[in-house]
Chain A
Amino acid sequence: MAVTINVNGQSHEVDADPSMPLLWVLRDKIGLTGTKYGCGINQCGACTVHIDGQAVRSCNTPLARAVGQSVVTIEGLSADSSHPVQRAWTELNVAQCGYCQSGQMMAAAALLAQSPNPTDAQIDQAMDNVCRCGTYLRIRSAVHRAAELA
């Protein structure tokens, strides 16, 4: 069944089962592979995107839920990596392998949109994405830094 979804400001006509997870629609149908598969069960956050400004885990979000909403992925977070989160992440040299980092940055951007100056406790709560490389401490500092840059 063909549906239209809006991703990063562009309309995409997608021929897919409405129950297909948004993660796989983005990756395999639309070709936006910045959104990652880590667990598929709503646990790791590697697949985090924004739907109408909220951080959502796309592995657990059926395509049907995204119809009529505006979806933003890492590729659309900013045109030129100038979002404060991207700048802070670069400045603090956060990423190691990088695989989890699109999800981390999308989670951080959504957090900052809601709480422009989050406390450590808020960060711990909102940012429970997994990073196997263990970059958590830099992530926490980078969220604070992004808050300053915003």
Chain B
Amino acid sequence: MALMGKLAIRHRPLSVNRRQFVLSTLALGGGLMIGLTPYRESMAATSAKPWEGGEGTEFTAYLSIGPDNIVTVRSTTPDIGNGTFTANPMIISEELPLDWSLVRGEYIPPERDLAEGGKYSTSGYLAYFSGRSTEPEKLHELLQLAASTRERLRQAAAEEWSAAVADVTVEEGRLRHADGRTLTYGEVAEKAATVELAEEPAPKPRADWAVLGKQSRNKLQMPMIMNGSTVYGIDLKLPGMVYAALRQSPVQGGRLKSYDFEAVRGLSGVRGVAVVDPDEPRAGLPEGFRAPFGLTASQNGPQAAIAVIADSYWEAQTALDLMPVEWEAGEGARWTSTQTFYDHLSDRLTNPVDPNIVVAEGDAEAEIGDAADVEAEFLTPYMDHFTMEPLNGTALVEADRLEMWLPTQHTQQALFVGADETGLHPEKVLVNQTWVGTGFGRRVYNDDTRMVVAVAKTMPGVPVKVVWSREESMRQGRYRQVMAGRFTAKLDESGMPKAIKSSIAGAGAGHMGIANSPYRLAVPNWLIQTQNVNSNLLTGPWRGPGWNSNCFMLESFINQCAEKAGIDAIEYRKTLLAEFEDPAWIRLLDLVKEKSGWGTDQGRGIAQGVAIGNWGMGGYSSTAPVGFSGTTVATVVTAEVSRRGDIYIPRVDLAVDLGSLINEDAVRQMLEGGVVMTLGAAMHEEINLNNGRVVEGNLDSYRLARQNDPSLPLEIHVHFEGLSNGERFSEAGEPPMGPPPPALAHAVYKLTGQWLNRMPFGRQNLA
């Protein structure tokens, strides 16, 4: 059993020489993107274990320079493959030229934020939320920090040389005197931190930027990915660590009835068994403390579970699989099949129960009456995140301390979940962010962290790594919100919609992307109503949550209206958007039209479909269109349908406006990946129910896009010429999840006359 003394507990010096710079606000001009300088060196000093702190002089929590000349740039948001660790040093290097081989990424852990009065999370839950690496305020703060640090380094070097500051210039990682002498940043860092400047320098005007939006850089962690040294949560090894394999109630919401540990106690490596009782009261948080996403039963409450603990994961899992366990199914068992639930959803669309009226403009009911010109019923099913790295986490629980190592998407949320589960004061909790093998929203609420701690607290003093098998990960999801929608419309003499009714029912049914659609400006009567209807399955954010359903429904419906009216679907949208203040929508439609060759002869058996949408516009609760916000995506999908009914996608064109870019290739990469993920999901993915249990457990029954999938796009062309290049630096991860599926459905309609209104599309016979 582990001895505490042997553990490598994180050495976490609070800063020496920390100073706060007075930040000045910059007036930014509208810089233009010019040609890219490819930057492909793969050397970097970033650690395989990014939670381990390096040494050095700390200028602020975001920047340290070590005597070895390693420059550490810290962030609060996890890098889950989205490039946080790379974007931040790129911003620094705009003002403080860096030797890229000596740059290292690190985190500002949430306990430091707590200890310093929450000053790194003034932006609320977003501060530690993965997915966003760049916020305008953060950008300004880092640019100022870099400029101020540069001037201090120059002055320190000048003093060292007894020279004039004007004779000292900076180059990548070094200071140079006019006479040729050099010093590294590291050699003068300590002195620089004590320099008092008469005045803080102003960062350069945006027009002079040479890095941001001008260069693309590989992720700092790329070299470690290349040789397999990146430590993801599941790879963590601590002295004395034991491994637990977890099983939660197979019917979500059920209870553990009985188990027979004696049957497996003697198996190789087995150490013990742990039971998690959801009914045992949890501690809650002390007065004045709040988890960023709250602590609620459905988001991160404990589930009935049992775990076997052993010397290796394989031994633990083998014993768990052999151990007799019985469960009380509970309420969820009434969902005998997926169809039972779909029927229930459809019934609620027909007979709404107390719907939430989100928008009631004009009188859509009266205008449409019983004579809708266009009518469609849509369904988007439950889907699993299929985090490539199965759920896992490690915790060491002691009498007065909890330390965790987690592949999480929100360390701050993890901290409070850990405090709640152990009853320890939040100030006694430490969180180490490991590398993460995809998140997509699955690791935000930290229900996984809850279960890790619940198991680990049965073995105080011993670090316990808890691993969900793939089957367990898939059957204990927080699934993509299932959603059904019925849309009806009345068209006017010119074929444009004069009234639309959108009725949506599903798990956490929301209005994002519909209530704030700019089409509303052109449709005088629109009724939008939602109903929250779910089975026993737990749901959660799934890349582009809510919107990935709503965008599909609305854009498919608009295509159906355009086809009914016999009007080109791009022209139809341009008419709908004519009054909208943000010209980017029409600009992107024109761009994607031109780039994809829309309207030209595509050849026999090939057709194109279109869709557009905006992720993040005006925030989640906005019920009116807000121009110049969020990320707008327009797409044309080119498709073919074989005689056997297989869908092929020779090409996807995507035009985006997210404002401005920091790291172009990173954005392009994420958009491409999103197109692949959303089209693969639309084609194949669906989680099914059987007496409240999840049917699919692994890739033999849950199909994902693959290299040899006929419907994998052969080419994806991302177009940045429509960027508005303003102050906005919006997201790239979630936006591509919306428009591609409805654009594909549109192309397939043109080829077959059939509308794909229900996902997964692959189930519909097109032959």
Contacts and interface: CB of A to CB of B under 8 A. Distances in A.
Interface of A: 17, 20-21, 24, 27-29, 31-41, 43-44, 46, 73-75, 77, 81, 86, 89-91, 93, 95-102, 105, 123-125, 127-140
A137 B713 contact: yes
B312 A28 contact: yes
Nearest to A89: B226
A36 B389 CA distance: 8
Contacts, number: 172
Nearest to B225: A98
Contacts of A137: 672, 676, 713-716
Contacts of B389: 36, 38, 97, 99
Contact of A97 (B223, B231, B436): B436
Given A28-B313, A99-B389, A132 B677 contact: yes
Given A28-B243, A136-B712, A128 B706 contact: yes
B9 interface: no
A90 B42 contact: yes
Nearest to A143: B707
A90 B41 CA distance: 8
A130 B706 contact: yes
Given A41-B700, A132-B386, A134-B672, A73 B228 contact: yes
Given A28-B313, A28-B314, A130-B704, A33 B673 contact: no
A84 B680 CA distance: 30
Among A95, A99, A101: residue with most chain B CB under 10 A: A99
A121 to B, nearest CB: 9
A140 B676 CA distance: 14
B699 A130 contact: yes
Q: How large is the interface on B (under 10, 10 to 19, 20 to 34, 35 or more residues)?
A: 35 or more
B331 interface: no
B223 A98 contact: no
Given A73-B228, A96-B81, A134 B673 contact: yes
Contacts of A81: 42, 223, 226-227
A125 B745 CA distance: 27
Interface stretch (B24-32, B232-240, B350-358): B232-240
A41 B665 CA distance: 34
If over half of B's interface residues share one DSSP class (helix, strand or loop), that class is named, otherwise mixed; here it is: loop
Interface stretch (B63-71, B214-222, B552-560): B214-222
B677 A134 contact: yes
Contact of A17 (B42, B268, B680, B712): B268
Nearest to A32: B228
B302 interface: no
Nearest to A106: B228
B435 interface: yes
A85 to B, nearest CB: 9
B157 to A, nearest CB: 34
A34 B672 contact: no
Given A33-B235, A41-B698, A99 B388 contact: yes
Nearest to A38: B388
Contacts of B716: 137
A89 B708 CA distance: 19
B78 to A, nearest CB: 11
Interface of B: 40, 42, 80-82, 216, 218-219, 221-232, 234-235, 237, 243, 268, 312-314, 386-390, 435-438, 440, 469-470, 665-666, 669-670, 672-677, 680, 698-700, 704-708, 712-716
Contact of A136 (B388, B437, B707): B707
Residue among B80, B665, B699 with the highest chain A CB neighbour number at 10 A? B699
Given A93-B40, A123-B707, 4 more contacts: A97-B437, A134-B674, A135-B676, A137-B672
Nearest to A82: B226
A120 to B, nearest CB: 9
Contact of A39 (B243, B470, B705): B470
A127 to B, nearest CB: 5
A134 to B, nearest CB: 3
B230 A98 contact: yes
A133 B218 contact: no
B62 to A, nearest CB: 24
Contacts of B713: 137
Nearest to B311: A28
20 contacts: A17-B268, A28-B312, A33-B228, A38-B470, A41-B698, A43-B698, A86-B226, A89-B226, A96-B669, A124-B707, A124-B708, A130-B706, A132-B704, A134-B674, A134-B677, A135-B673, A135-B676, A137-B713, A137-B715, A137-B716
Given A97-B437, A133-B438, A136-B706, A24 B312 contact: yes
Contact of A134 (B40, B224, B226, B676): B676
Contacts of A17: 268
Contacts of A136: 676, 705-707, 712
Contacts of A131: 388
A131 B390 CA distance: 13
Contacts of A124: 707-708
Contacts of B665: 93
A46 B706 CA distance: 13
A123 B221 CA distance: 26
Given A43-B699, A98-B230, A99-B388, A24 B673 contact: no
Contacts of B676: 134-137
A123 B707 CA distance: 8
A132 to B, nearest CB: 4
A77 to B, nearest CB: 8
Residue of A21, A123, A130 with highest tally of chain B CB at under 10 A: A130
Contacts of A138: 669, 672
Given A33-B231, A74-B227, A134-B676, A99 B700 contact: no
B237 A133 contact: no
